[in-house]
Structure 1
Amino acid sequence: MRIAITGASGLIGRALVRSLHADGHDTVRFVRRTPAGPGEARWDPASGYVDPVGLRGCDAVVHLAGAGVGDHRWTAAYKKEIRDSRVRGTAAVARALAGMDEPPAVLVCGSAIGYYGDTGSRAVDESAPAGTGFLPSVCVEWEAAAAPARDAGIRTVSARTGLVVSAEGGAWGRLFPLFRAGIGGRLGDGRQYWSYISMRDEIAALRFLIETPGLSGPFNLTAPEPLTNREVTAAMGRVLHRPTVFAVPAPVLRVALGEFAQDVLGSQRVRPARLSEAGFSFAHPGIEEAIRAALA
Structure 2
Amino acid sequence: MRILITGGSGFVGRRLCKRLAEAGHSLLVVSRDPERKRRVLPAGTDIRTSVLDFTDARPQAIVNLAGEPIADKRWSDEQKLRLIDSRVDITRDLVMLCQYLDTPPSVMVSGSAMGYYGDQGDREVTEDTSPHDEFAHRLCERWETTAREAEEYGVRVALVRIGLVLERGGGSLAKMLPPFKLGLGGRFGSGRQYMPWVHREDLVRIIEFLLERDDLRGPFNGSAPHPVTNAEFARLLARRLKRPALLPIPAVVLKAGFGEMSRLLLTGADMRPARLKAAGFEFRYPTLDTALADILG
| TM-score, normalising length: structure 2 | 0.93
Q: Could you tell me which amino acid in structure 2 is paired with residue 41 of structure 1?
A: R
Note the C-alpha offset of 1:165: 1.1
Alignment of 1:125-136 (within 5 A): 125-136=126-137
Counterpart of 2:28?
28
Matched, 1:51 2:58: no
Secondary structure class of the residue paired with 1:190: coil
What amino acid does structure 2 have at the position aligned with 1:29? Answer: V
Same amino acid, percent of matched pairs: 39
Distance 1:294 1:120 in 2: 29
Q: Is the 8 A contact 1:199 1:294 kept in 2?
A: no
Is the Cα–Cα contact under 8 Å of residues 118 and 137 in structure 2 kept in the other structure?
yes
Q: TM (normalized to structure 1)?
A: 0.93
Q: Residue deviations 1:13-67, cap 9 Å, x none? A: 1111122123332211111246668621221xxxxx62133641x3311010001
2:195 aligned residue: 194
Query: Contact (CA 8 Å) 1:198, 1:293: kept in 2 or not?
Result: no
Q: Is 1:39 equivalent to 2:46 in the alignment?
A: yes
* CA offset digits 1:215-257 (Å, max 9, x no partner): 1000000111211111111111121111111111111111221
**1:75 — aligned with what?**
76
Q: Which residue of 1 aligns with 2:277?
A: 276
Deviation at 1:148, TM superposition (A): 3.0
CA contact (8 A) 1:98 1:148 kept: no
Aligned-partner Cα distance in 2 for 1:108–1:55? 18
Q: Which residue number in structure 2 is paired with residue 248 of structure 1?
A: 249
State the Cα RMSD in Å.
1.6
Partner of 1:46: none
- Aligned partner of 2:224 in structure 1 is 223
- In structure 2, what is the Cα distance between the partners aligned to 1:234 and 1:112? 25
Give the superposition deviation at 1:147.
3.3
Q: Equivalent residue for 2:11?
A: 11
Which letter maps to 1:81? R
Matches of 1:34 and 1:16, distance apart in 2: 18
The answer as to whether partners of 2:5 and 2:27 remain within 8 angstroms in 1 is yes
In structure 2, stretches of 5+ residues that fail to align are 39-43
Deviations 1:236-287 (A, max 9, x none): 1121111111111111111221211022100211110000000000000000
Q: Cα gap change, 1:246/1:145 in structure 2, threshold over 3 Å: closer, same or farther? A: same
- Between stretches 30-39 and 89-98, larger displacement belongs to 30-39
Q: Does the 8 Å contact 1:160/1:218 carry over to 2?
A: yes
**Cα shift readout 1:147-183 (whole Å, capped 9, x = no counterpart):** 3311111111111101111232222211112211211
Q: Is the 8 A contact 1:107 1:155 kept in 2?
A: yes
Confirm or deny: 8 A CA contact 1:40 1:54 kept in the other structure: no
1:197, distance to aligned residue in structure 2 (A): 0.6
| C-alpha distance in 1 between matches for 2:34 and 2:293 | 39
Give CA-to-partner distance per residue, 1:76-95, whole Å, 9 cap, x none: 11110001111111111112
Secondary structure in 2 matching 1:3: strand
* Residue 175 (str. 1) matches residue 176 (str. 2): yes
Secondary structure in structure 2 of the residue aligned to 1:65: coil
Distance 2:64 2:34 in 1: 19
**C-alpha distance 281-38 of structure 1, shift in aligned 2 (>3 A):** closer
1:155 corresponding residue in structure 2? 156
Q: Deviations over 1:118-146 (max 9, x none)?
A: 00001111111232110100111111112
Q: Which moved further from structure 2: 25-34 or 139-148?
A: 25-34
- In structure 1, C-alpha distance between the alignment counterparts of 2:56 and 2:170, rounded to whole Å: 28
**Paired residues, what number?**
290
Question: Quick check: 2:107–2:157 contact (8 Å CA) kept in 1?
Answer: yes
Asked whether the equivalents of residues 167 and 176 of structure 1 are also in contact (C-alpha less than 8 Å), the reply is no
SS at match of 2:104: coil
Residue 186 and residue 21 in structure 1: after superposition, are their counterparts in 2 closer, same or farther (change >3 A)?
Answer: same
Distance (Å, rounded) in 2 between the aligned partners of 1:225 and 1:253:
26
Indicate the SS of the match to 1:120: coil
